[in-house]
Structure formats: structure tokens, C-alpha cells
Chain A
Amino acid sequence: MKLTAMLSRREKELIKEIWERLTPVAENIGADALLRMFASYPGTKTYFSHLDISPGSSHLFSHGKKIVLAIAEGAKDISQLTVTLAPLQTLHAYQLRIDPTNFKLLSHCMLVALACYLGEDFTPVAHAAMDKYLSAFAAVLSEKYR
């Protein structure tokens, strides 16, 4: 998957900077994005029947943290995304088997969470770069599905 054609050097820097800024609050951003997804797209809750996903639950924070940290890790070197995500690719394809249409829903809610948190700093250019990155991330994640 050729990502370098999609993201300019400036965009990759921007993405890396934003996720570095969010790493200290990973669990808050992650939990927020998940809650937004569950509220707007109730069908997504079906994947979490084994966890307590009520607002403020420790499961929600730890799971949200995992997701954000994985996204942040990928952002450190976007050209290596397939390598970085290899274990997660296997996990999602063979164990979790989350229908990939759901990745779009979480990505959208992640963008909303970023807009709420970053306010004006979430400029249209940053938004465009982030949307492209999250799409690429989701695409790599589903590469082993079939």
C-alpha cells in the first residue's frame, strides 16, 4: 500500500506532532471517541459485550488508551505502517474480525474528539491530513482479512 503518495512530508509532520501532543491524554481521547461512536452508531456496541463501556468505566479508558497509543505509534513513522501494524493486522483479521465499515465510524468519531479537544488548532489542513492518515491506518488494519 503506497502511502507516501497520499501524504506530503508536511502532513506527516503535522500528524506526528498532533499525536505526540495527545499521547499524555490518550485514555481521555480514546474513551471520548469510543463513547461518541457508541452514542451515534449503537450497532458498534455489539463488539464490546464483554466489557463495561459505560461512561467513566475503567474498561473504556484502558481500551481507548490502547487504540490511541496504537494510532500514535503508527504516526511516528508512517512509511512503516504495515510493519508497525503487523501484529494488530493479525489480531483484527483472525480474532476480533470487526467489520471494516466500523473503522470509518470510529475514525469519524476520533476526528470529532480531536476537534473538541484541539479547537481552532484542528485546522482544515490538519483535519485533511488526519482523515487521510486514519483511512490509511484502517486500510492497513484490514489487509489480512481476506
Chain B
Amino acid sequence: MVKWSDFERTTIQDIFSKIDKDVVGPAALSRCLIVYPWTQRYFSSFGNLYNAAAIKSNPKVAAHGKVVLAGLERALSNMDNIKETYAELSVLHSEKLHVDSDNFKLLADCLTIVVAGQLGKEFTPEIQAAFQKFLAVVVSALRKQYH
């Protein structure tokens, strides 16, 4: 069972209430596809991912970015049992989507950087640490059902 301090709970809730969710999800996913181009292998049905401009304006990428963020909000509402909350998602990513679980960390890092860009100075080292702990728990839950 993951232990969350009061500071961590408050901080993480706070971050999600401050960020522009319709922007952050799409921005994080498109950034991941640009910074780590090999991740595009999972999105061959998304159409034009030819360059950064195409990726940023791709409507399927944007839509999927929102799906990812909605998934994170589910973890946020179930912080004390993220593992169970994500069991089906983990099976989905492993058995159906066949995503190499190392990629989850890449997306998590891009998400951190997008949030940092939005919050600026407010994204202090301690707040970053809390956010990264949350993402690490999410990534670990997503990996759980892989075998």
C-alpha cells in the first residue's frame, strides 16, 4: 500500500485543479511523440505524425491526450488503491495494445515537463517530487498485470 503524506495528497490534488486539463493531456502526448519518436510505433492509425507541427495539430493525438489525462484523474480519485483501479488498463496495455512498459515513464516525464511549463515557479522541487511519486505509482500500476 502506498503511503501518501498530507502534503503529497494536497499537492497532487492542487496540481490537477490548477492545470488546464484540455491542454495538458494533448501537450504531453504530442511532446512524447516528438521527443521520443519511437513511441509513434503505437499510433500508426493516427495519420500524419511526420513532423512536430503535424503531431501538434493531429486531432487524434489531441483526443487521445485527453483520454490519458482522464485516466490519470481516475487514479487521483482513487489514490489509496491505484493498483486495483488500473488493473483492467494494465491488461489492456499489455495484452491488447502491446505497449512496452518502459514507454510509460517517457510519457510521465513529458507530463512533468508540460506541467512545469504551465506552473512555472509554482512547480517547486517539493511539488515536483510529490507529482513524480504519483506518476511513479501510476506507472507501476500500469505495469502490474504484464507477464
Contacts and interface: CB of A to CB of B under 8 A. Distances in A.
B125 A131 contact: no
Contact of A115 (B56, B117, B129): B117
B35 A127 contact: yes
Interface of B: 30-31, 34-35, 52, 55-56, 109, 112-114, 116-117, 119-121, 123, 125-126, 128-129, 132
B128 A40 contact: yes
B32 to A, nearest CB: 9
A116 B125 contact: no
Contacts of A36: 125, 128-129
A124 interface: yes
A125 B53 CA distance: 10
B120 A116 contact: yes
Contacts of B116: 112, 115-116
Contact of A124 (B30, B128, B129): B30
16 contacts: A36-B125, A36-B129, A40-B128, A40-B132, A112-B112, A112-B116, A112-B128, A116-B117, A118-B117, A120-B117, A124-B30, A124-B52, A124-B56, A127-B31, A127-B34, A128-B34
A118 B116 CA distance: 10
A38 interface: yes
Given A111-B113, A124-B34, A125-B52, A119 B120 contact: yes
Contact of B125 (A39, A123, A124): A39
Contacts of A117: 120
Contact of B109 (A35, A108, A116, A120): A108
Chain A binding surface SS class = helix
Interface in A88-146: 108, 111-112, 115-120, 122-125, 127-128, 131
Contacts of A120: 117
Contacts, number: 56
A20 B23 CA distance: 30
B125 A35 contact: yes
A110 to B, nearest CB: 11
Contacts of B30: 124
Given A112-B113, A119-B117, A124 B126 contact: no
Between A35, A40, A131, the greatest number of chain B beta carbons within 10 A of the residue's beta carbon is seen for A40
Nearest to A111: B113
Contacts of A123: 52
A12 B93 CA distance: 36
B36 to A, nearest CB: 8
Contacts of A38: 125
Nearest to B119: A116
Please provide the 5 A-B residue pairs with the shortest distance between their CB atoms, ordered closest to farther. Answer: A39-B125, A115-B116, A124-B34, A39-B129, A115-B117
